[in-house]
Amino acid sequence: MANRRILGIDPGSKVTGYGIVELTDKARVCYIASGCIRSGSGAFMVRLGEIYRGVVAVIDEYEPSELAIEDVFVSKNVASALKLGQAKGVAIAAAISRDLPTFEYSPRKVKKSLVGNGSASKGQVQHMVKAILSLQKSPPTDASDALAIGICHVNTSHS
Amino acid sequence: MANRRILGIDPGSKVTGYGIVELTDKARVCYIASGCIRSGSGAFMVRLGEIYRGVVAVIDEYEPSELAIEDVFVSKNVASALKLGQAKGVAIAAAISRDLPTFEYSPRKVKKSLVGNGSASKGQVQHMVKAILSLQKSPPTDASDALAIGICHVNTSHS
């Protein structure tokens, strides 16, 4: 069976983190790539275009088989929730346009999966991402969060 | 110059209304088509897929040159705002994927453009949609709202 390759996405209207991990046939999780799509501070419609095209470009370059995305359910207020929802929506649409099945995980579920504690700190999650993927140093926060979502999906769907 | 054809979208996580109007070279607004994409009551990710593919299908069938979409800024609560934002995001992504420029109009702006009063009732807007497009009867609410957004865009960008 071909290795499973997961694209994790940490959605945001200004910065969208992405991280790609692969589950090898030896049941090891390997780091493939990670980074941030910076959609800047211009008109919101332009930013949505940057996010959509950015995620499509990542999918076309790394050819993941699945998308895992954070199920955000809290936000400062209704206006910021509508913006974050749209940013997340265009990222999901990029996956739909490439026929990738999409899975959602709450921040609590991601923390529990990596650290064993749903209330773990961001620092603890970053530490585990670095350890699990045998990285020399921690990727930037948004990329690290995206890798964590990808690892959580591997753990959840593999077991 | 070719006629301008506008796709109006009234986004929703269960029903997405669409309406296509055309501005002819005689500066008349003509009705082309309207309808509803029903994304059902299944898993939210499945519904987002229905909306994205539904809007792409409408674009590919009617080949509009622009998208006009409602700029929703109120919602019952943060959770419903996140859902509505995602539904709107995948609809916008469908337009981005087909390189359509996208414009947003607040409900108040749409009402003012059609009825001359930003506090007009839904019934007054429906009445004006029917009159402007010389329709025999009013389309269903979601389709009528989408046509209203399309007409508002024609009025705003033409004058």
Identify which of B45, B72, B89 has the shortest CB distance to residue A48: B89
Q: Give mean pLDDT, residues A56-82.
A: 90
Strand partners, B37: B16
Q: Percentage of chain A with pLDDT > 90?
A: 82
Is residue B22 annotated as a catalytic residue, yes or no?
no
Shortest Cα distance, chain A CAs vs residue B137, angstroms? 34
Shortest Cα distance, chain A CAs vs residue B51, angstroms? 9
Identify which of B92, B103, B104 has the shortest CB distance to residue A90: B92
Give me the pLDDT at residue A159, please.
54
Catalytic residues of A: 10, 70, 142
Enumerate the H helices of chain B as residue ranges: 44-62, 78-97, 107-115, 122-132, 141-158
Local confidence pLDDT in tens for the 159 residues of chain B: 568 999 999 999 899 999 999 998 878 899 999 999 999 888 999 999 999 999 999 999 999 999 999 987 677 788 889 999 999 999 999 999 999 999 999 999 999 999 999 999 999 999 999 999 999 998 999 999 999 999 999 999 865
The whole-angstrom separation of Cα B22 and Cα A4 is: 47
Report residue B27 as tokens: 């500066």
Predicted model pTM: 0.93
Is residue B25 annotated as a catalytic residue, yes or no?
no
ipTM entry: 0.90
Longest dimension (CA), chain B: 46
The whole-angstrom separation of Cα A153 and Cα A156 is: 5
- Torsion angle of C-alpha atoms A15, A44, B99, A146, degrees rounded to 10: 20
Q: Which residues of A touch B84 (CB under 8 A)?
A: 82, 85
Give B4-158's CATH code, choosing from 3.30.2090.10, 3.20.20.450, 3.90.1150.10, 3.30.420.10: 3.30.420.10
- For residue B155, the number of C-alpha atoms closer than 13 Å in the C-beta half-sphere is 18
Catalytic residue among B10, B22, B66, B145: B10
Shortest Cα distance, chain B CAs vs residue A82, angstroms? 4
What ranges do the domains of chain B cover? 4-158
> Chain A interface residues facing chain B, Cβ-Cβ under 8 Å?
45, 48-49, 52-53, 72-75, 77-79, 81-90, 92-94, 96-97, 102-104
Does A102 have pLDDT greater than 90? yes
> Is the Cβ pair A52, B96 closer than 8 Å?
yes
